[in-house]
Structure 1
């Protein structure tokens, strides 16, 4: 039953990603991508100048200082990780904790707006995301907040699976191209593949950890432990 639930949620997210209803959730993935760039910059002693979001799901985090390699790595990796953490929170927390998490996410968006948003378009997009996070809190005595959190999380994860593939355009522009130029270790395609594999592995891990231990494939794959 848990496997059916997980893949039903994932399927719904994929279907919605093909409709106009995708935009608020696509903006979430973009925000967590850009916020992760910014957080990596802060953690490596840089600072964020501004975060910009576009209606089409594009975004930009302008930073000063910091260590470029972890900053560049953090975008796609961070979006997947945020999505996974949010999904697991919805799966494991109590109703009151779900409400607190939604309020915390709204607070993150609000603080980011105060410090790093500099245009009306981004302000409008973030306001819509805050509204989407706020609506489930109107039903605190139901399972709606948990379902909503799980959906937000799995949508961000599935969106982040395909997001790095957009870099395969022959233009040598984006995080993968910048990493290739800075590190001189791997070409852009390898970085794209690593992000893609990480997203797929995270999706597999989410599925496995949210089903009974007796049903996990890792019962037979002893070299792939789960926490």
Structure 2
């Protein structure tokens, strides 16, 4: 008969400490909550909503890159990625496995958003996330090289990253990566609701996915993807809390030794 040992008080206390935010993490959580409120407000306020416009396009770029990346993994040939000024996008490919490439847009961009949220709890992790995100966008730019709006977005994004990297041991970069993560996850949640649960015209990825699968409606698949995206959002916060327990002073000291800004 197998023997199971119950965790002792010390082990329970260790688990509790891992999930209990320290003072620096509390500040990060408060900032993330403020981002959520600010994005939700700006999303629907006339004129002010244009402040989010470039960041919405960046999340659309992540969405389309996720389609393309899933296509590459399933042996598709990527013809182009197109971003539209009206916050739309399209990935044209030949081949691949549609049941993988179709949900990859929503689920991939929400996964990337969750990764950025987790990295937003630590300065050096934010540096790594910025480099990785820049590489993703450069790859996307190869497929979208004929799109002027993609060029403008990539150049603008690179300028912001470089500028924030140079500010006081890259402390501002951490909050920018956190914002991009929250923005990406919220955009996915809103987009899924708008495209599948609320929209009456069946032209979404979920509607095409439902036709291919032959079971369940687009709204059902949209709801499933919404749940997965919410789980990613929560996991991003949990990973950030568990993995990055450094104080602000410790993060600044670590940042001085990992790709430091000139003069740091």
What TM-score do you get using the length of structure 2 for normalisation? 0.72
Larger radius of gyration: 2
Superposed CA offset, 1:24-45 (max 9, x none):
2111211111100000100001
For residue 211 of structure 1, report the CA deviation from its aligned partner. Answer: 4.4
What are the ranges of 5 or more consecutive residues in structure 2 without an aligned counterpart? 1-22, 244-264
Q: Secondary structure at the residue paired with 1:141?
A: helix
1:11 to 2:37 alignment: yes
Structure 1 CA distance for aligned equivalents of residues 218 and 73 of structure 2: 25
Q: Note if 1:144 corresponds to 2:180.
A: no
1:107 Cα deviation from its structure 2 partner: 2.9
Q: Distance in 1 between matches of 2:240 and 2:168?
A: 23
| Inter-partner Cα distance in structure 1 for 2:134 and 2:231 | 28
User: 2:242 and 2:99 mapped to 1: Cα distance?
Assistant: 38
Please give the per-residue CA displacement for 1:38-81, whole angstroms capped at 9, x wherever unaligned: 00100001121111111221111111111011000101111110
- The answer for unaligned runs of 5 or more in structure 1 is 214-227
Change (3 A) 1:123 1:41: same
Closer, same or farther: CA 46–212 of 1 in aligned 2, 3 Å:
closer
How do 1:6-155 and structure 2 match up within 5 A?
6-18=32-44, 19-94=49-124, 97-139=125-167, 141-155=169-183
1:119 to partner: Cα distance: 2.6
Q: How many residues align?
A: 211
Could you tell me how far 1:200 is from its partner in structure 2? 2.2
Answer whether contact 1:40 1:70 (CA < 8 A) is retained. yes
Give secondary structure in 1 for the equivalent of 2:120. Answer: helix
Farther-moved stretch of structure 1 (103-112 vs 34-43): 103-112
Preserved CA contact (<8 Å) 2:210 2:218: yes
Q: Would you say the 8 A contact 2:32–2:178 is kept in 1?
A: no
CA distance in 1, matches of 2:162, 2:81: 22
Q: State the Cα RMSD in Å.
A: 2.3
Q: Any idea what SS the aligned residue of 1:50 has?
A: strand
Q: Secondary structure at the match of 1:57?
A: coil
Instruction: Tell whether the 8 Å contact from 1:41 to 1:66 is kept in structure 2 after alignment.
Output: yes
Residues 82-103 of structure 1: CA deviation (Å, up to 9, x unaligned): 1001111121352xx5334323
Q: 2:221 aligns with which of 166, 180, 191?
A: 191
